[in-house]
């Protein structure tokens, strides 16, 4: 039976030390040893059952898994750093003693529920298309959305760049002569998908908040604040289930 092998950058990222991009840089800088020898190749194969990995002189062990729910403000980017000096979500995680990464993204002008973790297996499960994790948004658009436009949004439509959407659940919250407030649930994750869906039927999104991922609710979490989730609460984001 073949022993499981993974690349060195993957060993560090799965241990919850940093992202694969960051760990690749550290490996190339000579900060990582395998069996006492400095390895500068991030794609070096490691057998977890027998190889010993050290980072900055300390043996690499799996960090305790942590799951964070952040109410991301508008005007903030979902990344570790930004070459345009914009605020990032990490500025709202001060005091957290472990590295975490965002599970998926929210565009800069969208606020609401963002999950961050150091559990790569959990993140991969949550993001894989086969999981069909529903994501629910509350928003406001220009104009009055017609019945025909609601049908298009619900049954799928062309949003440009050769992409079409699958079915969604959409309902009107209220409407005036100038604006419509809505709630929409999708199971896909195309770039700026909700905004592009409404643009495709002639409406500009003025406000967009993600309020739910699977069974995990934004609830009363204040804007710019985060809370640490239990493992059960974190797994409720995956189709409303938990690991038992």
Whether 70 contacts 213, CB under 8 Å: no
pLDDT under 50: residue ranges of the chain: 1, 242-244
Q: Which of 11, 13, 3 is nearest to 34 (CA)?
A: 11
Quote the pLDDT of residue 3: 54
pLDDT at 1: 45
Answer yes or no: 107 catalytic: yes
Rounded distance between C-alpha atoms, residue 203 and residue 5, angstroms: 50
Q: Which of 51, 82, 107, 233 is catalytic?
A: 107
CB neighbours (10 Å) of residue 199?
15
Q: What is the pLDDT of residue 68?
A: 96
Q: What is the pLDDT of residue 239?
A: 62
* pTM, to two decimals: 0.83
Give the pLDDT score at 243: 46
Strands (E), 61-130: 67-72, 101-102, 111-117
Give the residue extent of every domain in the chain: 5-59, 67-130+219-235, 134-213
Question: Within 13 Å, how many C-alpha atoms sit on residue 54's CB side?
Answer: 9
**DSSP code at position 233:** H
138-168: buried (b, 16+ CB within 10 Å) or exposed (e) per residue? bbbbebebeeebbebbeeebebeeeeebeeb
Query: What's phi and psi for 11, nearest 5 deg?
Result: -60, -45
Assign residue 179 a region (left: φ > 0; alpha: ψ between -120 and 50; beta: otherwise). Answer: beta
CATH T-level topology, domain 67-130+219-235 = Alpha-Beta Plaits (3.30.70)
Tokens of 194: 């909700």
Would you state the pLDDT for residue 76? 95
Q: 134-213: what fold? A: Alpha-Beta Plaits (3.30.70)
Domain 5-59 identical in fold to domain 67-130+219-235: no
| Token pair of 5 as six digits | 């092998």
Angle at 137 between CA 209 and CA 159, to 5 degrees: 110
pLDDT per residue over 175-218, tens digit each?
999 999 999 999 998 999 999 999 999 999 999 999 999 999 99
- What confidence score (pLDDT) does residue 244 get? 43
CATH number of 5-59: 3.10.290.10
The DSSP element (H or E) to which 28 belongs, if any, is: helix 20-28
């Amino acid at each position: 039976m073949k022993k499981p092998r993974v690349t060195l950058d993957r060993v560090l990222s799965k241990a919850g030390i940093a992202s694969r991009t960051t760990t690749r840089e550290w490996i190339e800088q000579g900060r990582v040893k395998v069996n006492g020898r400095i390895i500068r190749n991030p794609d070096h194969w490691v057998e977890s059952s027998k190889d010993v990995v050290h980072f900055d002189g300390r043996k690499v062990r799996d960090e305790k898994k942590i799951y964070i729910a952040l109410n991301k403000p508008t005007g903030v980017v979902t990344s570790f750093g930004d070459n345009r000096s914009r605020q990032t979500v990490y500025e709202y995680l001060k005091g957290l003693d472990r590295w975490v990464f965002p599970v998926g993204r929210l565009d800069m002008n969208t606020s609401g529920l963002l999950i961050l973790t150091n559990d790569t297996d959990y993140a991969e499960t949550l993001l894989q298309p086969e999981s069909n994790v529903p994501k629910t948004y509350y928003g406001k658009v220009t104009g009055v959305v017609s019945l025909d436009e609601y049908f298009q949004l619900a049954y799928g439509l062309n949003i440009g760049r050769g992409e079409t959407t699958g079915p969604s659940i959409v309902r009107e919250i209220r409407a005036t002569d100038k604006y419509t407030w809505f709630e929409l649930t999708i199971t896909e994750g195309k770039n700026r998908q909700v905004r592009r869906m409404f643009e495709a039927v002639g409406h500009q999104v003025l406000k967009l908040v993600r309020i739910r991922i699977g069974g995990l609710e934004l609830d009363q979490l204040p804007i710019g604040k985060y809370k640490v989730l239990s493992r059960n609460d974190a797994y409720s984001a995956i189709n409303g289930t938990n690991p038992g």
